[in-house]
Structure 1
Amino acid sequence: MEHPQRHQQLRRLSTPRSAALAGVIFAVLFAASLVLLRSAIPDDPFAQIEWVSTGRARIGIALTLAPVAGTAFLWFIGVMRDSLGELEDRFFSSVFLGSGLLFLAMTAVSMAIAGAILMTAEEPGVTTNGLIYFGRSLMLQVSNVWGVRMAAVFMISLATIWFRTRLMPRWTAVVTYGVAATLLAVVSLSLWVTLVFPVWVCLVSVLLLPTRGRSPRRRTVSP
C-alpha cells in the first residue's frame, strides 16, 4: 500500500517578492553601522586610545547591526541571481557571486577586528597604544582597501551583465561603471568612502522592486 504523502504534488520554489527589500535593508543597516563606526573612530590613526572607551557604545551597536546587514546582503545576491533567470552567464555570474561573497567576508573580518579591539581594551594591563593602532589600521585596510575593491568588482560584473541582457536601464549600468571605477582608483582609509556601496545597493533595489512580479525565465531573449 502506497503512503498517502507520495501522492502530494511537489511545488516549485519561487523567490518571494518581499526578498527584493533585502537590498534596502542591507543599505540602511550597513550604512548605519558605518556611520556609527566613523563617528567613534578618529581620523588620526595615532590619536589617543581614549576613543575606544568613549565610542564603546556606538561601536557595540555597529557590531550588532553588521551581521544582520550581511544576512540581508546574501538575500540581495540571491535576488539579483533570480532576476537573471535563464539570462545568467556562467563567467560573469561567477565573478559577480565571488566578489560579492569576498566583500561580505572582508566586512566580517573588519568588524571582527573592531570587536577584538573592544574586548582587548577591557583587559587591564593588556591594552597598549601600539596594539590599538595596529588593530585600527588592520580593520581599515581590510574594509577600505580589500572590501571596497571587491565591492567595485561586484558592481562592474553586474553592470556588464545589465549591458548584455538589457535587464536594467542602460544609464544604471553607466552610473555603476563610473562609481565602481572611482572605488577602484581612490585609496582612502576613511569609512565615508565605503558608504557609496550601500547607497548604490539601495538604488538598485528600488529600481528592481517593480519588476519582481514578472518571471525572468519567461522573458524573450533577443539574439
Structure 2
Amino acid sequence: MQEQRPSRQALRTPRAAGLAGVVFALLLAAAMVLVRLGLPEGAGTGTAPAFTDAGRRGALRAALALVPFAGIFFLWFIGAVRTHVGAVEDKFVATVLLGSGLVFTATMLAAAAAADAVLVVAHPAGLPPLPAAWDFGRHFAYTLMTGYAMRMAAVFVSSMSVIGHRLGVLPRWLTALGFLVALALLLFSSNVPWVELAFPAWSLLLSVHILVASRRPRPRPDEA
C-alpha cells in the first residue's frame, strides 16, 4: 500500500494541474473581455468622461481582481504542461518554454497594475480623469498586455508546439493550431482587437487534452 501511494499521487497531480489550466483560461478570457469593455483602446481623450460610468469602473475592477488568480493558475498550468511533456532532451526549447511563461506572468501582472493606476491615481473618485494621465495609463496598460505579454505568450505557445511535435505528445491538429495562434499573437496582437483571446482559447484546449490524456490507462512496465 505504501508503494502504491506515490504512483497514485503522481497521477493525480497532472489532473489537478490540468484543471488549473482550464480555470486559468477562463479567468484570463474573462479579464480580457472586461478590460476591453471597461478601458477602451484607440479612442481619443473625448471618451475620458465616459470612464466615470459606474458600469465601466466595475467591469475594470472585476478584471483586475481576476488577473492575480489567473497568474497563480497559470503557474500550475506550466507545471501541468511540463509534467505532461515529461523529460525533454532539447534543453534549449524547454528553457524557452519555462522562461516565456514566467515573463508572460510578470508582464500580465504589470499590465494589471498599470490599469489599476488609471483607476486610483489618475483622477479623484467620481471625477473624469485628466487627459494626459488617461492617455498615458490606458496606452501603457494596453502596450504591456498586447505588445509584450501576448508576444511572450506566442513564444510559450510556439515552444510547446515544437515540443509536442518532436515528442508526439500532442495531436497534430493541436500542434498546428498552436503555431497558428503563436503567429497571430506575434503579428496582430498589437493592432487587431480581441486577438489576445486566442491565447486563453488555446490554453483551454491544451488543458482539456491533458485532462483527457491523464485519464487514459497507461501501459504497465511488463506490457511495454
Using the size of structure 1 for normalisation, the TM-score is 0.85
In the alignment, the residues of structure 2 paired with residue 176 and residue 66 of structure 1 have an alpha-carbon distance, to the nearest angstrom, of: 23
Equivalenced residue count is: 212
**What are the superposed Cα offsets for residues 47-72 of structure 1, whole Å, 9 maximum, x if unpaired?**
33124321111111111111111111
Pair 1:98-2:99 in alignment: yes
Aligned to 1:118: 119
Following superposition of structure 1 onto structure 2, how do residues 171-190 of structure 1 map, counting pairs within 5 Å? 171-189=173-191
Look up the equivalent residue of 1:116 and give its one-letter code: A
Aligned to 2:198: 196
Moved more, 39-48 or 111-120: 39-48
Pair 1:49-2:51 in alignment: no
In the alignment, the residues of structure 2 paired with residue 53 and residue 79 of structure 1 have an alpha-carbon distance, to the nearest angstrom, of: 41
Look up the equivalent residue of 2:120 and give its one-letter code: M
In the alignment, the residues of structure 2 paired with residue 16 and residue 163 of structure 1 have an alpha-carbon distance, to the nearest angstrom, of: 20
Distance 1:149 1:73, change over 3 A: same
Following superposition of structure 1 onto structure 2, how do residues 1-223 of structure 1 map, counting pairs within 5 Å? 12=6, 14=10, 15=13, 17-47=15-45, 48-54=47-53, 55-87=56-88, 89-123=90-124, 127-189=129-191, 191-213=193-215
Look up the equivalent residue of 1:35 and give its one-letter code: V
**What are the superposed Cα offsets for residues 51-96 of structure 1, whole Å, 9 maximum, x if unpaired?**
4321111111111111111111111000001112234532111000
In the alignment, the residues of structure 1 paired with residue 82 and residue 14 of structure 2 have an alpha-carbon distance, to the nearest angstrom, of: 13
In the alignment, the residues of structure 1 paired with residue 192 and residue 74 of structure 2 have an alpha-carbon distance, to the nearest angstrom, of: 22
Contact 1:33 1:65 (C-alpha < 8 Å) held by counterparts: yes
Compute the RMSD of aligned alpha carbons.
Answer: 2.7
Structure 1: stretches of 5+ with no match in the other structure: 1-7
In the alignment, the residues of structure 1 paired with residue 40 and residue 144 of structure 2 have an alpha-carbon distance, to the nearest angstrom, of: 17
Using the size of structure 2 for normalisation, the TM-score is 0.84
Shift of 1:16: 5.0
Shift of 1:120: 1.4
Shift of 1:121: 3.9
Contact 2:20 2:77 (C-alpha < 8 Å) held by counterparts: yes
Shift of 1:187: 4.9
In the alignment, the residues of structure 2 paired with residue 140 and residue 211 of structure 1 have an alpha-carbon distance, to the nearest angstrom, of: 36
Look up the equivalent residue of 1:50 and give its one-letter code: P
Moved more, 58-67 or 87-96: 87-96
Q: Secondary structure, in 3 states, of the residue corresponding to 1:167?
A: coil
In the alignment, the residues of structure 2 paired with residue 183 and residue 44 of structure 1 have an alpha-carbon distance, to the nearest angstrom, of: 18
Q: Secondary structure, in 3 states, of the residue corresponding to 2:48?
A: coil
Contact 2:41 2:138 (C-alpha < 8 Å) held by counterparts: no
Shift of 1:212: 1.5
In the alignment, the residues of structure 1 paired with residue 210 and residue 14 of structure 2 have an alpha-carbon distance, to the nearest angstrom, of: 13
Structure 2: stretches of 5+ with no match in the other structure: none
Contact 1:20 1:209 (C-alpha < 8 Å) held by counterparts: yes
Contact 1:40 1:51 (C-alpha < 8 Å) held by counterparts: no
